[in-house]
Structure 1
Amino acid sequence: MVQAMREHFDNSYARLPDRFYAKLNPTPVATPQMLRVNETLARELGFDPVDLSAEVLTGNSLLPGTDPLAQAYAGHQFGGWVPRLGDGRAILLGEVTGGFGRRDIQLKGSGITPFSRNGDGRAWLGPVMREYIVSEAMHALGIPTTRALGAALTGEGVQRERRYPGAVLTRVAASHIRVGTFQYFAARGDGAGLRLLLDHCIARHYPAADGPLSFLAEVVAAQARLVAKWMSVGFIHGVMNTDNMAVSGETIDYGPCAFMDAYHPRMVFSSIDQQGRYAFQEQPNMAVWNLAQLATSLLPLMDGDPEHAADEATRVLEGFATQFSPKWLQLFRAKLGLTTQEEGDEALITGLLARMASSQADFTATFTALTEGDASEHITDDGAWDSWAPDWKTRLSREPGDPKDTMRAANPVLIARNHRVEEAIQAGIEGDYAAFHRLVDALKDPFNPAPKYLDLATPPKAEERVLRTFCGT
């Protein structure tokens, strides 16, 4: 088994020059204790779940073939430039390979690194549980995302506004390379490093790309599809900084994230987003802003006149809208039971969303009710349902097949509701993990949950609402 594991790892990022990272092992913890192993994912990646002990999931014991390192990157955080960020509390153990391609295995909360910037390098239990729950929920919804391979307690306390139990998340990703990784080398005028990074990303993620411009186009397309999917399930990332945007097109870094309950386009949950920069409706615009920073970083690698290169990059960025809008329409058409395209569909969709906003309708529950043909208990403004539903039903009458089949595949019954996540976290702080395990199990099948989980679909009562979410640091 040991030799098989050694051959399982092939650490291509560690073969890049040492200015790309700092090599170091995770900091040992006091008394590792298992919280959960994602056995299905473990087997998909070629691991025997038995080998993923609490010692391994906290970094006290390293699997053969790993080559631990902390990656360097920079980034714009809420629009402010930070020239040196990097993995301040994470260690990339290495990359596993197989029929699934190549996947990073990273420990999050594994101790101080050279990029910690006076931080403690640790994670407390709440953010680890939140990322485990939400990232696995996103995967089940069919949204590209990092995954949770496991979580373990450290047996040590972590000081935030009070002392909390410490924990480590084992995260899986297509890679952990970010827009901010490109910014790091571009800001230093390191053209050679920038070229190496680009070649590495093309080989790993977009082998059809033949240079910086086509690579940019691939990332733009991937992010447009991703954000459209976020919008279709009412997901708010909460902290769309350039260091939190993966060039692979996966959702990464679940900090103050949330799924909306009551719908409003300006909804914000993050306690640190005071100006609503990353509000729900701003997410497509912020994706373009981030991608513009990637484009700027890539300009030194583009051939020809710099002004022409900038024009070409701008043209690629403008392609975000041509990728995003059709995908958004396709996803929301399906939520309304529509598989064909008609000119008035966008107006029909936006008309419903406007009524949901004015009625403070629950996003997920409204579309679940719509699947059964009547959302009048959610669209409660005077005449709002009756002024919209006839046009929708007339439009449905022109659809082939049974629209309910389309809607059931597009409208999840279960999401990781904020109050349920918070309930699991608060119980976990007290040493009770039953709610956490139940929620993770339930969210494996969000479109057709078992009857025993249907209580988790209920929107929060007024006193249960969670209106603010927090970053783990």
Structure 2
Amino acid sequence: MAKLGGQAVDALFSGQATGCSFADLPSSFYTRVAPRSLSRPRLLHVNPAVAARLGLNDAALHSPAFLALCAGSGRLPGVEPMATVYSGHQFGVWAGQLGDGRAHLLGDVSGPQGAWEIQLKGSGRTPYSRMGDGWAVLRSSVREYLASQAMEGLGIPTTQALALVAADDTVIRETPETAAVVTRIAPSFVRFGHFEHWAHSALDQAALLDYVVTHWFPDCLAGQADHPDRAVAACLLLAEVTRRTARLMAQWQLVGFCHGVMNTDNMSILGLTLDYGPYGFMDAFQANHVCNHSDSLGRYAWNAQPAVAQWNLTRLAESLQVLGCTVPDLEAALAPFESVFLQAYHAGLAQKFGLAAWRPEDAELGDAWWALLHAQQADFTLAFRYLADVGTDEPAWLSLFADGGAARQWLDRYRLRLADDPRPQAERKAAMDRVNPLYVLRNHLAQHAIQAAQQGDASEIGRLMALLQDPYTQQTGHESYAQPPAADVPTVAVSCSS
């Protein structure tokens, strides 16, 4: 596909500023590298809601210039694509230099809804690809495209996917597959790993700190703009990242989301859900559920995610010592993690239970709930959703449990708690339905969309996107999308190649 740039792409963003703030950092932070061209690229799907954030209208989304941009042959005016370098810990082990091995940062677009970085994923080799080919397959690209919408619909901070481009190029994974590229946006794609990479260089770490704080955490410079103390700013930044990450973990836990590969290079400095690979929303609940087939030791199990996030934050803290931060100051910045996590988790669980507020004694009710779901392997999403109907339609809720007696015992405790928190049933149900989704991106639903997309049919992607934009509202005719997979549906195994 011929390169389209200049006036063609410029017309997409008429009246909006384009550039690349990351390029203001020293050249050692990135490498200028062009995406690889695709064979017969075609726009499989586009998210109009995300496009609106960039000021793109419907006509722009169906233009050759838009396809060129999302396929890697177009350029933002005045910006050359780049890949950024970072390092990180993978599965708890220092992996050394990593970087954007199959991603290209096209630059920034600034408009009425703020500034957004535009990045292609699956767009070819970079100097940081190591032994990889830099491609992404349609299977994993559909999963990332849908997952970002699922999390956005649930109100969970995330990078967002703008478009999905398919192509004819063959990519070898376990079997031959076809290539695809996801165009995704975020205020920033800076990761913990960017800071880890510069842990040995005070000068470069200071440049990265200044960049991140100036653009996204200006409060960390409050009162010290003339002569900023970088050690102070770094600790203030760490404290805010700690709080954001703690709240994010609570949100993941409360919807049964498992990331699958919580390496430090997959942790966003802005507290966003970043890099959807072997993720999964639980069907049958198991507290130690592992969604990543590659995670043989269960490091990233559902019940381990908060602790892993805290461990990752500690690695981030260690990288800031080069700026003169003392260990006591860094420990103080990390200290709020547990309290912030528990506050967000308890407040969220109270809402999901239909309680006006969380009380300390509710911890026993919550622990008993997870124990019941674990022992009975009840469906995570529906167990919460149907709980709102207790008192009017208990059979639906009880049908999720193999042992009805054990379920009724917990239900008796729950009713006693509700009696001490009176509210009209209709009001309580409405409140619970606003926080307990009916639709989540179950693996078998994503798999159906993948199989259709591999035949050139994007209609299932479209249906799922519409449901996931409003996962709390029941949609007539889509009852099957709220159900767990049937017993005869093969389990979808996802791994790091996903």
Global fold match (TM > 0.5): yes
Alignment partner, residue 437 of structure 1: 462
Distance 2:275 2:403 in 1: 37
Listed as ranges, the gaps of 5+ residues in structure 1 are: 304-308
Q: Does 1:118 align with 2:118?
A: no
Distance 1:6 1:175 in 2: 22
Distance 2:155 2:14 in 1: 29
Listed as ranges, the matches of 1:121-132 within 5 Å are 121-132=134-145
Superposition deviation, residue 467 in structure 1: 5.0
| Cα pair 2:444 2:492 within 8 Å, conserved | no
Q: Which moved more, 1:259-268 or 1:38-47?
A: 38-47
Q: Does 1:190 align with 2:212?
A: no
Alignment partner, residue 227 of structure 2: none
TM-score (norm 1): 0.95
SS at the partner of 2:464?
helix
Q: Which moved more, 1:107-116 or 1:457-466?
A: 457-466
Alignment-mate amino acid for residue 444 of structure 1 = Q
Cα deviation, 1:136-195, whole Å, max 9, x if unaligned, reads 010000000010100111221111111111100001112111111001111xx2211101
Distance 1:411 1:278 in 2: 24
| Cα pair 2:398 2:404 within 8 Å, conserved | no
Alignment-mate amino acid for residue 71 of structure 1 = T
Alignment partner, residue 345 of structure 2: 328
Cα deviation, 1:422-456, whole Å, max 9, x if unaligned, reads 12112222333322222122211100032122210
Distance 1:428 1:274 in 2: 30
Q: Which moved more, 1:460-469 or 1:435-444?
A: 460-469
Alignment partner, residue 380 of structure 1: 402
Distance 1:144 1:405 in 2: 24
Alignment partner, residue 28 of structure 1: 37
Distance 2:298 2:375 in 1: 19
Alignment partner, residue 22 of structure 2: 13
Distance 1:49 1:217 in 2: 41
Listed as ranges, the matches of 1:36-435 within 5 Å are 36-52=45-61, 53-186=66-199, 189-210=200-221, 211-303=233-325, 309-373=326-390, 374=394, 375-381=397-403, 383-399=405-421, 401=423, 402-435=427-460
Distance 1:367 1:31 in 2: 45
Listed as ranges, the gaps of 5+ residues in structure 2 are: 1-6, 222-232
SS at the partner of 1:464?
coil
| Cα pair 2:267 2:274 within 8 Å, conserved | yes
| Cα pair 2:76 2:107 within 8 Å, conserved | no
Q: Does 1:466 align with 2:475?
A: no
Paired residues, number: 466
Distance 1:51 1:471 in 2: 35
Alignment partner, residue 306 of structure 1: none
RMSD: 1.6
Alignment-mate amino acid for residue 195 of structure 1 = A
Superposition deviation, residue 51 in structure 1: 3.1
Distance 1:312 1:58 in 2: 46
Distance 2:74 2:492 in 1: 39
| Cα pair 1:20 1:72 within 8 Å, conserved | yes
Alignment-mate amino acid for residue 47 of structure 2 = N
Cα deviation, 1:11-55, whole Å, max 9, x if unaligned, reads 110111100000122111121111011112111221234334322
Alignment-mate amino acid for residue 458 of structure 2 = Y
Q: Percent identity?
A: 39
TM-score (norm 2): 0.90
Alignment-mate amino acid for residue 19 of structure 1 = S
Q: Which moved more, 1:293-302 or 1:255-264?
A: 293-302
Superposition deviation, residue 459 in structure 1: 0.8
Cα deviation, 1:347-403, whole Å, max 9, x if unaligned, reads 111211110110110000111110111322223325212211122122223335422
Superposition deviation, residue 215 in structure 1: 0.4
Distance 2:479 2:295 in 1: 32
Distance 2:109 2:185 in 1: 10
| Cα pair 1:136 1:444 within 8 Å, conserved | yes
SS at the partner of 1:208?
helix
